[in-house]
Amino acid sequence: MSVTDQKKKQIVSAAIAEFQEKGFAGASMDRISDRACVSKRTVYNHFDDKQSLFREITQCMVDQLNEALEIPYDADLPIRDALIRLGWAEGELLTKSCFMSLARMIMGETIRDPEMAADVNSRMTKLSVFEEFIARATDEGKLNAPDPKLAAEQFLGLIKSRAFYPNIYANRVPDRDEMDAIIQESVDMILAQYGTGD
């Protein structure tokens, strides 16, 4: 990693800590530069303002989500196994404290700023990944989901309603056994609604 990239990483890490502690409105570029052990000028060489720095942080979360869901559809897997695999692509992130802390901080800010929320949401691909998976499984006769987007929203909703939202509010992270139960039960509900018995 180059010195420039290393300093940028230091700044982003310091900004995450600052935003978590002070919120977006209360965060200070001066304190971020102090936390990062770089000059204020170095911070501004990388980021024009606090908004662009926060956008970089949201991109870190978006990248983690998008990379986690880069899983190919496996037509040879039984549909239940394939759905569990897809559920775990989301579940792996929700069992990581660093991801959940980052998501909690970003969620707190996006609730106050609908434009920021829309921007973050527009950069995430997970709904389309779930939708494409369900559409393909339906095409192959493994599922019967006339509206794959709705089914994708329902599947993600089943997972997030138990594994994400309650834990974000409680500032905790589900363990793997808890996540496994949530994913398996969510898959069973999707199969009860859309399964074909194949």
**pLDDT of amino acid 198:** 62
Go through 29-53 and write b for each residue having 16 or more CB atoms within 10 A of its CB, e for each that does not.
bebbbebbebeeebbeebbeebeeb
57-66, 136-145, 153-162, range with the lowest pLDDT? 57-66
**pLDDT of amino acid 110:** 82
Kindly report the pTM of this predicted structure.
0.83
- Structural domains in the chain, CATH included, are 1-47 (1.10.10.60), 62-194 (1.10.357.10)
Q: What does residue 143 show for φ and ψ, rounded to 5 degrees?
A: -130, 160
Mean pLDDT across the stretch 42-65? 86
Confidence of residue 7 (pLDDT cuts 50, 70, 90): confident
Distance CA 108, CA 24 (A): 9
**pLDDT of amino acid 194:** 98
**Cβ proximity of 120 and 110 under 8 Å:** yes
**pLDDT of amino acid 57:** 85
Instruction: Give the mean pLDDT of the chain.
Output: 89
